[in-house]
Structure 1
């Protein structure tokens, strides 16, 4: 039973040794351990603050990126609209130019046709006139083949002419 119930002297010396150990630990071990724990707590809290700040900065950058993306989309849409307007303008100008050139070609063709028609009419009139002269000449030769007919015609023409 001696082991289960220690004597008073052993209990005192155990208590004294425990108190000395507590003092030594308090002076040499607890202070550095508490400082290390406090430093660790401060580093963790500063890391959490930095993470929170980074999270806020990321949110700000995300909003900034979304704004830049929206502006880029607006600019792209504006450029596309301008390009379409320029395309429509160029197409309209090309159509107008082609139409005016076609009208000019048609007008030139009509003028050319009119001139060729007039030339053909003139040539036809000249040909008809030469044919008429040939026919008249043949008729007159036939009618004037005898001298009696020539005298009768000369007298007829002389009577028709009036002298002033």
Structure 2
């Protein structure tokens, strides 16, 4: 430290001080403003980028909210369509069951009517056969009993007496 004091030169010190002051004045006049301006521009650019990023983030949130809303609406519409399709399916099935029941009832009624007609035809045929057999048996019995002319006359007279004339 003593050596620094011994080597100290006041002229050199003032000269260096003047050079420093001139350098500071020149820097202040020509360099500080452009440096500060560029720093301000950079700060403004960074702030602008941050603002744009914030706006983009908000816009993305809005788009996501809109997408969610559209998705909910689409789901609701899909659910409504599915419900309507189920109702239509159930209605078609119910109508088909009802129509099948009616058709089955008609077929059963037709079958019953056909059976009744066939039954009546069979009974009529049976009555006809029984009548033919009865007439055949009666003819045979009458022929044997009324082999003579006198027996035939007595039978005819007896029948005429039983018949009343109006």
In structure 2, do the counterparts of structure 1 residues 119 and 160 end up closer, same or farther at CA, with 3 Å as the change threshold?
closer
TM-score (norm 1): 0.89
Deviation of 1:5 (Å)? 3.5
Corresponding residue SS for 1:6: coil
Q: Which runs of 5+ in 1 are unaligned?
A: none
In structure 2, do the counterparts of structure 1 residues 52 and 162 end up closer, same or farther at CA, with 3 Å as the change threshold?
closer
How many Å separate the matches in 2 of 1:25 and 1:134? 157
> Equivalences for 1:107-122 in 2 at 5 Å?
107-122=109-124
Determine which of 127, 130, 141 is the counterpart of 1:128: 130
CA-atom RMSD in angstroms: 2.1
How many Å separate the matches in 2 of 1:41 and 1:52? 16
Deviation of 1:154 (Å)? 4.0
Does structure 1 residue 145 correspond to structure 2 residue 147? yes
Per-residue Cα deviation, 1:98-154 (whole angstroms, up to 9, x for no partner): 011001101111111111111111111111110111000100111112344334434
Corresponding residue SS for 2:147: coil
Determine which of 17, 20, 29 is the counterpart of 2:19: 17
How many Å separate the matches in 1 of 2:165 and 2:112? 52
Aligned length: 164
In structure 2, do the counterparts of structure 1 residues 2 and 144 end up closer, same or farther at CA, with 3 Å as the change threshold?
closer
> Equivalences for 1:1-164 in 2 at 5 Å?
1=3, 5-157=7-159, 159-160=161-162
Q: Which runs of 4+ in 1 moved over 6 A?
A: none
Corresponding residue SS for 1:24: helix
How many Å separate the matches in 2 of 1:88 and 1:118? 44
TM-score (norm 2): 0.88
Deviation of 1:54 (Å)? 1.5
In structure 2, do the counterparts of structure 1 residues 131 and 5 end up closer, same or farther at CA, with 3 Å as the change threshold?
same
Deviation of 1:76 (Å)? 1.1
